[in-house]
Amino acid sequence: MEHCAAPLTADCEERDRLAALAGLAILDTPAEREFDDLARLAAAALRVASAAVSLIDADRQWFKARHGIPFAETPREMAFCTHAVASRSILVVPNATLDPRFSANPLVTDQGGIRFYAGVPLITSSGHCLGTLCVFDPSPRQGLMPEQEAVLRDLSRLAVDLIESRRYRRMGEIAAKVVNATSDAIIAVDRQGDIVYWNPAAEQMFARRAEEALGENVEIIIPARLATGHREVFARAAAGGATRLVGTFIELTGARADGSEFPVELSLARWGENDSEGGFAAIVRDISGRKSLERDRARSQAFLDTVVTNLPAMLFVKDSESREYVMVNRAAEEVIGRDADDLVGATDRDLFPAYGEAYEQRDSEAIVVGRPHVFESAFVRDDGETVHLRTTRSVIDGPDRPSQYILGVAENVTETRRAEAEIVRLAHYDPLTGLLNRTSYTDRLHRLVQEAASFTMLSIDLDRFKAVNDQFGHSVGDAVLAQVADRLRTSIQPTDWAARIGGDEFMVILTGKKLRERAQTVAETIISRVAEPVVTDRAVAHLGASVGIVVMPEDGTTTAQARENVDLALYRAKRQGKGTVCFFNADMDAAARDRQTLEKDLRAAIEAGDITLAYQPVLSAETGQITSAEALARWTHPARGPVGPDVFVSLAEESGLIDRMGEQLLRRACADAQSWPVHVRVAVNLSPLQFISGALLETVRSALDRSGLLADRLQLEVTESLVIRDVERTFEQLEQLRALGIQVLIDDFGVGYSSLSYFQRFPFDKVKIDKSFVDTVTTSRASRAIIQSIVGLGNQLGMGVVAEGVETEEQMRLLVECGCTHLQGYLFSRPLPLRAMQMLLESEKSPRTSNIPAAR
């Protein structure tokens, strides 16, 4: 309700009055008997035609009750009562026609209009004048008798009472409706605690009907176990003492008729005015729904907390203004290496003097960008460990303002980065030796060549490494390589590079000044260091190294040239003997080109079948008879003339033509031998490389099959260096060949590194003493001794001993004396074309020629 401030103006007073009238909610309500009775009583008591309870509204007068009045309202300006209300005192008009205020009023001038009027203002207890109780009559009167005025005043007081009680009644009705309709239980008790009121909601809530509850003590709504406590509180409150129960809502436990309990919220009010009557009224609300909602919420909150805590990614929340940490999860504690307590409430600047500013800078950027912002950074923890973090920052709204928080999720990518670094390392370095690998060597070489930089490249080849690897196995081989790599590393300067580009192939690249001199020194250092014994836990290896060197850009302008030329230099170094350094020079290049054309021609010659065989007889020292003939390859180059087998056989070996050529010659030898007397065998030389492909056995078998030559007429000559790769597999193949019935000879015996242990592993049929011993047999006692011991070995093992390269009678005599079983050499015959060989064998059937020695 609107109240006006003093000093009160008429306007203000009127507004107040109208508000009071509206507040009573009486205007335009239906007729009520009590008011009608009052109007009728007034008319009767004053013997007038009409009476009314008139209320003055803003622009009308409205009759709450009317007697003898046909209309329900009039305009306000017509109303006589307006004047009574304005003056707040009784108004009596004896004859309206004579009163200038009313004489023109249509209510007066109409036929049978008003003459007499008397109205008493209706003033409420709050002092507002609402209208009047008034009477009218069509006849004029003298005025009002005092007892009449007294009646009218009494009745008007009654009318005011009626109006005011009507208001309370109405409020009571509303309250009752509310109380009946509400879902809250409303319970009133007296001072003894006995229930005097129990609304329908209470019936529902406590499962007790009103008649069951009324008169019972209020303890029936409290769990028995709490009753004692309740009793004390209630007694204190009833005695007028302070209780926290009055005026506030508190949470308690209620009990239903069946004893089941439920959470309630309760508010108490005192009721009653004096000590004798009154008590407490309680509003009780069942909050089990809210409680379970709260429980659910608490549970989901707890669940969320668990999720956040256990999130495998680091999570943090900072205040976007203060930049203080508001929250961190466990992963964050672990990654940062500090407790949440140390972090929350602190800023990055406080926590990490070295990084704080950068972190805040990133926060600021995230705020400006407004989208999730990703950064990666390395961070050194208190314990010294470096952690790589990939952090996504988002700006989120908070309850207090937009963009209130910075939410960060950081992934610990330390392992990933470490793995990536490892991959890079593996991509660039050889895992065994830690030197650069082939790829990165190629890259660097390429770069240097492109830049036309001055550098020298050293190609290093290990001597005897293959033997070490074969003899001791790969693990020893690996250990040896690792040590060699260390020796290389310590032979160069930090600005130089060393790479391992193949099994035992190493490269060193030197840059800087005085390259040629330095290359020479480094190469010599490497050679001398590699020559020192390499001690591993299982073996001691004695290696050597050869070094080829190119000086760029003098020796080439492309990487291909650099590589080819360094290969040539190395090749030359190896040819010159172990432990040699060789610089590339242009002559080598020419030689290399020459070799390339020759290789091309050889390939064509093999395809065309131009490689032929010459046969050199081998004689029995005992009978002087030819027992076999050795097949020796011959090639006459169309332009260059005859090319020695030493040259083209090794060319075929180096260019991968050896298998093809070997097979061809084997077939031819077998076929040729078919035309010889059956006691004459044919000996075919094999390259060690022919044992690698694994096809040898099949090649030999098919050569025999095609020619029809019996296996026991074929001899195969292998050298001491036949074991190149796999000892086991080589001997296995020899066994298989021998199982066919073929004889196997060991050629060039006494040079090279083959060991006598070969004889342990395989029973060779014959040993061919190397020509160098035969050459010196007449001059060197050592040679003779060696030959004698080979013969001794042959006797012991049942092997024939062949002396080859016999050129003189003197040699022959000594060799026979030493006990050689077979002889071969120019003394008897040079290698002959097939035709000549056949003729020789023919002639043998007839009396022997003078060249052939007599048997002893």
Question: Pick from 105, 391, 483, 685: which binds ligand C2E (CB under 6 A)?
Answer: 685
Give residues with Cβ within 8 angstroms of 78, minimum separation 6: 61, 105, 106, 107
Stretch that binds ligand C2E, among 130-138, 460-468, 680-688, 842-850 (CB under 6 A): 680-688
Nearest to Ca ion of 306, 650 (CB atom): 650
Helix (H) or strand (E) holding 412: strand 405-412
Cβ atoms 124, 88 nearer than 8 A: no
Helix (H) or strand (E) holding 74: strand 73-75
Q: Which amino acid is at 546?
A: S
Cβ atoms 668, 615 nearer than 8 A: no
Is residue 831 within the footprint of ligand C2E (CB under 6 A)? yes
Cβ atoms 350, 356 nearer than 8 A: yes
For 453, the 3-state DSSP assignment is: coil
Question: Pick from 32, 154, 216, 807: which binds ligand C2E (CB under 6 A)?
Answer: 807
CA distances from 218 to 192, 206, 285 (A): 9, 12, 16
Q: Which amino acid is at 682?
A: V
Task: Look up residue 628 and give its two tokens.
Answer: 């076999």
Cα 405 vs. chain centroid, distance in angstroms?
26
Beta bridge partners of 264: 252, 286
Is residue 644 within the footprint of ligand C2E (CB under 6 A)? yes
Nearest approach, Cβ of residue 426 and Ca ion (Å): 48
Residue 632 interface partner, choices ligand C2E, Ca ion, none, CB cut-off 5-8 Å depending on type: ligand C2E
CA distances from 685 to 352, 650, 656, 666, 827 (A): 80, 13, 17, 9, 21
Is residue 805 within the footprint of ligand C2E (CB under 6 A)? yes
Nearest approach, Cβ of residue 732 and ligand C2E (Å): 20
Nearest to ligand C2E of 281, 629 (CB atom): 629
Is residue 659 within the footprint of ligand C2E (CB under 6 A)? no
CA distances from 249 to 191, 253, 283, 285 (A): 21, 13, 9, 10
How many residues sit in the footprint of Ca ion (CB under 5 A)?
A: 4
Question: Pick from 665, 673, 703, 744: which binds ligand C2E (CB under 6 A)?
Answer: 665
CA distances from 742 to 679, 682, 737 (A): 14, 11, 6
Nearest to ligand C2E of 537, 646 (CB atom): 646
Draw the binding track, 753-792, toward ligand C2E (x: CB under 6 A; -: no contact).
----------------------------------------
Is residue 829 within the footprint of ligand C2E (CB under 6 A)? no
Is residue 747 within the footprint of Ca ion (CB under 5 A)? yes
Give residues with Cβ within 8 angstroms of 780, minimum separation 6: none
Nearest approach, Cβ of residue 632 and ligand C2E (Å): 4
Stretch that binds ligand C2E, among 254-262, 439-447, 459-467, 684-692 (CB under 6 A): 684-692
Residue 108 interface partner, choices ligand C2E, Ca ion, none, CB cut-off 5-8 Å depending on type: none
Give residues with Cβ within 8 angstroms of 27, minimum separation 6: 21, 55, 57, 62
Draw the binding track, 600-639, toward ligand C2E (x: CB under 6 A; -: no contact).
----------------x--------------xxx------
Nearest to ligand C2E of 132, 685 (CB atom): 685
Distance CA 266, CA 286 (A): 9
Stretch that binds ligand C2E, among 96-104, 122-130, 305-313, 802-810 (CB under 6 A): 802-810
Give residues with Cβ within 8 angstroms of 423, minimum separation 6: none
Nearest approach, Cβ of residue 717 and ligand C2E (Å): 6
Is residue 696 within the footprint of ligand C2E (CB under 6 A)? no
Stretch that binds ligand C2E, among 118-126, 132-140, 529-537, 645-653 (CB under 6 A): 645-653
Task: Look up residue 368 and give its two tokens.
Answer: 């400006």
Nearest to ligand C2E of 150, 751 (CB atom): 751
Nearest to ligand C2E of 497, 635 (CB atom): 635
- Using CB atoms within 10 Å of the CB of residue 256, give its burial: 0 to 12 exposed, 13 to 18 middle, 19+ buried: middle
Distance CA 626, CA 624 (A): 7
Nearest to Ca ion of 747, 844 (CB atom): 747
Nearest residue to 190 via CA among 103, 304, 280: 280
Nearest approach, Cβ of residue 624 and ligand C2E (Å): 17
Nearest to Ca ion of 504, 717 (CB atom): 717
Q: Which residue is it, tokens 């290359």?
A: 519
Cα 709 vs. chain centroid, distance in angstroms?
70
For 284-345, what is the HEC assignment? EEECHHHHHHHHHHHHHHHHHHHHHHHCCCEEEEEECCCCEEEEECHHHHHHHCCCHHHHEC
Nearest approach, Cβ of residue 437 and ligand C2E (Å): 36
Q: Which amino acid is at 373?
A: H
Name which of residues 701 to 730 contact Ca ion (CB under 5 A).
717
Name which of residues 73 to 92 contact ligand C2E (CB under 6 A).
none
Nearest to ligand C2E of 59, 646 (CB atom): 646
Task: Look up residue 396 and give its two tokens.
Answer: 């989120």
Question: Pick from 11, 258, 273, 646: which binds ligand C2E (CB under 6 A)?
Answer: 646
Residue 718 interface partner, choices ligand C2E, Ca ion, none, CB cut-off 5-8 Å depending on type: none
Nearest residue to 572 via CA among 585, 554, 560: 585
Nearest to Ca ion of 216, 807 (CB atom): 807
Nearest approach, Cβ of residue 773 and ligand C2E (Å): 12
Stretch that binds ligand C2E, among 60-68, 106-114, 339-347, 682-690 (CB under 6 A): 682-690
Nearest approach, Cβ of residue 802 and Ca ion (Å): 9
Helix (H) or strand (E) holding 203: helix 200-206
Is residue 463 within the footprint of Ca ion (CB under 5 A)? no
Nearest approach, Cβ of residue 616 and Ca ion (Å): 9
Question: Pick from 105, 459, 616, 685: which binds Ca ion (CB under 5 A)?
Answer: 685
Nearest to ligand C2E of 93, 652 (CB atom): 652
Task: Look up residue 613 and give its two tokens.
Answer: 């065989």
Give residues with Cβ within 8 angstroms of 402, minimum separation 6: none
Distance CA 550, CA 335 (A): 53
Nearest approach, Cβ of residue 634 and ligand C2E (Å): 8
Is residue 853 within the footprint of ligand C2E (CB under 6 A)? no
Residue 644 interface partner, choices ligand C2E, Ca ion, none, CB cut-off 5-8 Å depending on type: ligand C2E
Is residue 733 within the footprint of ligand C2E (CB under 6 A)? no
Residue 303 interface partner, choices ligand C2E, Ca ion, none, CB cut-off 5-8 Å depending on type: none
Binding site for ligand C2E (CB under 6 A): 616, 631-633, 644-646, 649, 665, 685-687, 717, 747-748, 804-807, 825-826, 831
Binding site for Ca ion (CB under 5 A): 685, 717, 747-748
